[in-house]
Amino acid sequence: MSTPSIAIDLFLKDLDNFFYGPNFWQAGLYPQVKDLDFRQALWKPSPERNCIWEILQHINAWKWFAVESIKGNKIKSMKEYNWVPLPASPDEEKWKAEVEKSKELHEEFKMLVSKASPELFDSSKENLEYYQQVLYHDCYHTGQIGLLRVMQGVKPVI
């Protein structure tokens, strides 16, 4: 097995460890959101802060952007996708759909990475850092979601 293949395999393992868990640092993203109801997902510590639902939409937007990038589809600007408004009438069905979307995007991203050429992880290419940062981005916001859970008195995911 070549070094790039090992790098991709390890990256895929990390993607799952930090999405589904377990990992050494924190609960995975999916366990943090899958059992929340839509009211918990909408809770904010103050009006100017983001709620879990908004954070998950943001995570999904960046994962979608990475998926489209790997597919070769150029998105002119992420501005319109980055932090989008919540649905006009948020409810349980729409929240569960957002959670499911995160799982679908995760699986699609993994599938595309697994089929990508080792060039995807060529450290002399700008995209190496970008694709690895998808994982870091998810981890950062997963920590925020964990804190918002605790602030609401929702049992932490272990």
* Residue closest to 105 by CA, chosen among 8, 19, 7, 23: 19
- Sequence-ordered list of residues with C-beta below 8 angstroms from that of 120, at least 6 positions apart, any chain: 8, 70, 113, 127, 128, 131
- The answer to whether position 158 is within a domain reads no
Per the CB < 8 A criterion, the answer to whether 68 and 81 are in contact is no
pLDDT tens per residue, range 63-98: 999 899 889 888 887 888 889 999 999 999 999 999
Domain extent for 79 = 3-152
Q: Where residue 122 sits, what CATH number does that domain have?
A: 1.20.120.450
- The answer to whether position 22 is within a domain reads yes
Q: Is the pLDDT of residue 121 over 80?
A: no
* Residue closest to 157 by CA, chosen among 19, 22, 27: 27
Highest averaged pLDDT of the listed ranges 1-5, 68-72, 73-77, 143-147: 143-147
- The answer to whether position 100 is within a domain reads yes
